[in-house]
A and B are shown apart, each in its own frame.
Chain A
Amino acid sequence: MKRLAVKNLLGRPGRTAALFFLVLLLSLTLCGGGLVLSSLRTGLGSLENRLGADVIVMPAKAALKTDLDTLFLQGTIGPYYMNMSTVDKIAKTEGISRLSTQIFLSSMRASCCSIPIQVIGFDPESDFTVSSWLKESRQGSLDEGRLLVGSRVNANPGESIKLYNISCPVAGQLQPTGTGLDTAVYCTLPTIRTLMTAAEDLGGYSSISGDPSETVSAVYIKVKEGVDPKDVADSINVHVRKVKAVQTRSVITTVADSLSGLERILTLLIIAAAVLVWLVLFAAFTLMTGERKKEFATLRLCGLSRGRLAGLVFREAAIVSLLGSAAGVGLSFLLVHAFSGALGNALGLPFLLPSAGTAATLALAALFGCLLAGPLAAAVSARKLSRADTGLILREG
Chain B
Amino acid sequence: MLDALSYDFMQQALAASLLASIACGVIGTLVVVNRLVFLAGGVSHAAYGGVGLAFHYGWPVLPSAIGFSVASSMLMAGVALKRPEKADTAIGVLWAAGMAFGIILIDLTPGYKADLMSFLFGSILAVPLTDLYLMAALDAALLAMVALCHQTLLVTSFDREFAEARGLPVRTAHYLVVGMTAVGVVMLIRVVGLVLVMALLTIPPFIAARSARSLPSMMAAATAWSTVFCVGGLALAYRWDVTSGAAIIAVASAGFMAVSGAGALRRAIGRRNPQ
Physical interaction between A and B: no
